[in-house]
Amino acid sequence: GENVEQHPSTLSVQEGDSAVIKCTYSDSASNYFPWYKQELGKRPQLIIDIRSNVGEKKDQRIAVTLNKTAKHFSLHITETQPEDSAVYFCAASIDTNAGKSTFGDGTTLTVKP
Amino acid sequence: GAVVSQHPSRVICKSGTSVKIECRSLDFQATTMFWYRQFPKQSLMLMATSNEGSKATYEQGVEKDKFLINHASLTLSTLTVTSAHPEDSSFYICSARYSHSGNTIYFGEGSWLTVV
């Protein structure tokens, strides 16, 4: 089955700096890669996703890059703000069955004011 | 966007009793819903896939007789934890696939279960 590894497990940055979280996956059949933000005790919220037919996607301060050959994808957050502090999960799945995603272990991001 | 509601948000029950958690898609029909379990500071682990009108598909290692899943309508799936034990205490989250948004899944608010 799919195996997703996420690094780092914790990340602390100063407000205004950039944050990068990286994930690798094992199953070359995976073609859908969402990123979720989860605040303590709350539901995961989709913040950005990318499909394997593109290499990069950007939405304001958030971007995701995908390297299919190397089987890794990364989340980039620029101009970080304290409200960006949360746990971020990457996931990988086959597009038509996104609910069966394999999730990374999560990265706790702390943005210091 | 699509809204998925989960109830109750928190529940405390005694060992040996059963607890039911509901997951509803409020503004769309969800033929498929998913149930996850999340321990503190850990990732989401898929427990089962709930299909409307048919039996749920359980992931390896998940006891189907302990975690009963029913998907009786296109907007409601339920998870019943039977004969609950303290080790069943966890955060349970459902999600539903919204086919009109490219198969994006939307999560419920989650339910904290504490078994005492």
- Convert B44-91 into a string of H (helix), E (strand) and C (coil): EEEEEEEECCCCCEECCCCCCCCEEEEEEECCEEEEEECCCCHHHCEE
User: Sorting pLDDT into bands at 50, 70 and 90, what band is B40?
Assistant: confident
Q: Cβ–Cβ of B43/A44 closer than 8 Å?
A: no
**Chain-wide mean pLDDT for chain B?**
92
Q: From the CA of B76, how many Å to the nearest CA of chain A? A: 16
Residues contacting residue A40 through CB under 8 Å, at least 6 positions apart = A87
Residues contacting residue A70 through CB under 8 Å, at least 6 positions apart = A24
User: Rg (Cα) of chain B, in Å, rounded?
Assistant: 13
User: Sorting pLDDT into bands at 50, 70 and 90, what band is B53?
Assistant: confident
> Residue A69: what pLDDT?
93
User: Sorting pLDDT into bands at 50, 70 and 90, what band is B51?
Assistant: confident
Tell me the pLDDT of chain A (113 aa) as tens digits.
Answer: 889 999 999 999 999 999 999 999 999 999 999 999 999 888 999 999 998 888 999 999 999 999 999 999 999 999 999 999 999 999 998 866 777 889 999 999 999 99
Per-residue pLDDT, averaged over B63-76, amounts to 93
What is the number of alpha carbons within 13 Å of residue B101 lying toward its C-beta?
15
Type of residue at A58: K
Phi, psi of A97 (to 5 degrees): -140, 55
Residues 73 through 112 of chain B touching chain A, CB cutoff 8 Å: 91, 93, 95-97, 102-110, 112
Q: What is the DSSP letter of B16?
A: T
Per-residue pLDDT, averaged over B35-41, amounts to 91
Q: For residue A57, give the H/E element and its range.
A: strand A56-59
Instruction: Compute the distance between CA of residue B57 and CA of residue B77 in angstroms, rounded to an integer.
Output: 13
Q: From the CA of A14, how many Å to the nearest CA of chain B? A: 23
